[in-house]
Homo-oligomer: A and B are copies of this chain.
Amino acid sequence: MEYFKGKSHEELVMYQNELKQKLEKFKGMGLNLNMARGKPCKEQLDLSNAMIDGSIDFSINIDYRNYGLLDGIPEAKKLFAESMNVLEEELIIGGNSSLNLMYDTLVRAMLFGTVDSIKPWSQYEKIKFICPSPGYDRHFGICEDLGIEMIMVPMTDDGPDMDRVEELVQSDETIKGIWCIPKYSNPTGITYSDEVVDRLASMKCAANDFRIMWDNAYNIHHLNNNGDELKDLLIACKKTNNSNRVYMYSSTSKVTFPGSGIAVMAMSKENADDVRKHMGYQTIGSNKINQLMHVRFLPTADAIEAHMMKHAEILEPKFDKVLEVLEREIGGLNIAKWNNPNGGYFINLDVMEGCAKEVVACCLSHGVTLTPAGATFPYGKDPRDTNIRIAPTFPPLEELELAIEVLATCIQYVAIHKILA
């Protein structure tokens, strides 16, 4: 494999010196740029300021200020049932954190089992979850906290490697689930193909209570008019008589405000009734004024869609900038590859094997904070040490350009070090 367009050893040594000087210059600038998390930027948050500028009319016939309505106000259930393509009885409105809904789902399975379980999951010596990787660190964190063993399965351009997934689930009754971000996946940006969705819905599982944690966090988070289409897993599961197999999650964290959004989960009615049964003991229900605030601000699916286009207008130039700088600085050098997603919050970057940790450390020491290398893998360990997650949404455009220049310089510097070693 030819790196740096076939530069000779001497040329690489000279170029390494140039890069070193460039890095010194960055250091001198005292940068403090953060691309660690998929956070909306201020301009995106401003899009929803009508929720808190006094323009929402909170009047309503039923008194949502008082107790009642465990699983959500009717208006919110109607809206999210439409946007998630389910019946209202299949839906539960949560608080402001879909992570919390996911965590609590697995807690219930641990303590009580699911409606299809023969015993609570905590009564097994060990249970396991399939973790397509790279994936979302917070999913893996839930497994770590609950003591669920993680089995890594590679991600492909169509979703998880289904040959491997099928092989695993049909042989081991203690494999109880799989984490999925099916659309604009975190971090690889791909959307699961129809075939992958169908295979997830129909595969034979040794565990009757196998569950798919379907975190559809970026369902409507397109970056352009060329958005991906995702096949409906709940419908596919119903067709294969596996209707209890999937829990679907969504939220408005990246629609309105991450600090005060609405999280929702959807599933078969049998699953939903089971959740409601335990929720009735756990809580008085979620913040209803916040729900009313949301449905008054975004009353219809069309209103949400129009709102998401405004987000895309802010985000697309940022993603374009990252791609432009990467191409300009390291395009064709054969030392990194990256994707160009149609939506979501991340650009996925793979550097030379064994270099990701060093690149992230190099960036940090020059004022650019990235997601820690390895974070996108179970137990924080990227076996090939190649994957870096770029989160371009939060920094302003000019800071972003500078940050990616630092990143590109570090990628080259670390690569040469590796090649010359």
Stretch at the interface among A50-58, A155-163, A399-407: A50-58
Q: What is the size category of the interface that chain A forms with chain B?
A: 35 or more
Identify which of residues 56-80 in chain A touch chain B, using a CB-to-CB cut-off of 8 Å: 56, 58, 63-68
A115-146: CB near B (< 8 Å → 1, else 0) gives: 00000001000000000000000100110111
What residues on B are CB-neighbors of A144 within 8 Å? 281
**Nearest-CB distance from A202 to chain B (Å)?**
32
Copies of this protein chain in the complex:
2
A366 close to chain B: CB less than 8 A? no
Q: B63, A45: Cβ atoms under 8 Å?
A: yes
Residue A3 interfacial (CB < 8 Å): no
Instruction: Select the stretch in A254-262, A307-315, A412-420 that faces chain B.
Output: A254-262
- Minimal Cβ-Cβ distance residue in B for A261: B287
Across the interface, A99 reaches (CB within 8 A) one of B138, B141, B284, namely B284
Q: Is the CB of A65 within 8 A of B45?
A: yes
Distance in Å from the Cβ of A264 to the closest Cβ of chain B? Answer: 15
Is A259's CB under 8 angstroms from B67's CB? yes
Q: Are A100 and B282 in contact (CB under 8 A)?
A: yes
The docked-state distance in angstroms from the alpha carbon of A129 to that of B100 is 27
Q: A45-B63, A64-B259, A258-B65 are in contact. Are A145 and B289 (CB under 8 A)?
A: no
Q: Is A103 an interface residue (CB 8 A)?
A: yes
* A142 and B103 in contact, given A66-B257, A67-B39 (Cβ under 8 angstroms): no
User: Could you tell me if B107 and A111 are in contact, using CB atoms closer than 8 angstroms?
Assistant: yes
A95 at the interface (CB under 8 A from B): yes
Q: How far is the CA of A286 from the CA of B95 in the complex (A)?
A: 8
Assembled-state Cα–Cα distance A52/B292 (Å): 11
Which residues from B are CB-within-8-Å of A111? 107, 110-111, 122, 146
Contact of A187 with B by CB under 8 A:
no
- Does A96 sit within 8 A of B, measured CB to CB? yes
- Which residue of B is nearest A123, CB measured? B122
Q: Contacts A42-B63, A290-B290: A141 and B281 contacting too (C-beta < 8 A)?
A: yes
Contacts A66-B257, A97-B283, A287-B290 known; 16 new A-B pairs at CB < 8 A: A53-B54, A53-B58, A54-B56, A63-B259, A66-B259, A95-B286, A103-B281, A103-B282, A107-B107, A111-B122, A111-B146, A138-B281, A141-B280, A258-B284, A259-B287, A259-B289
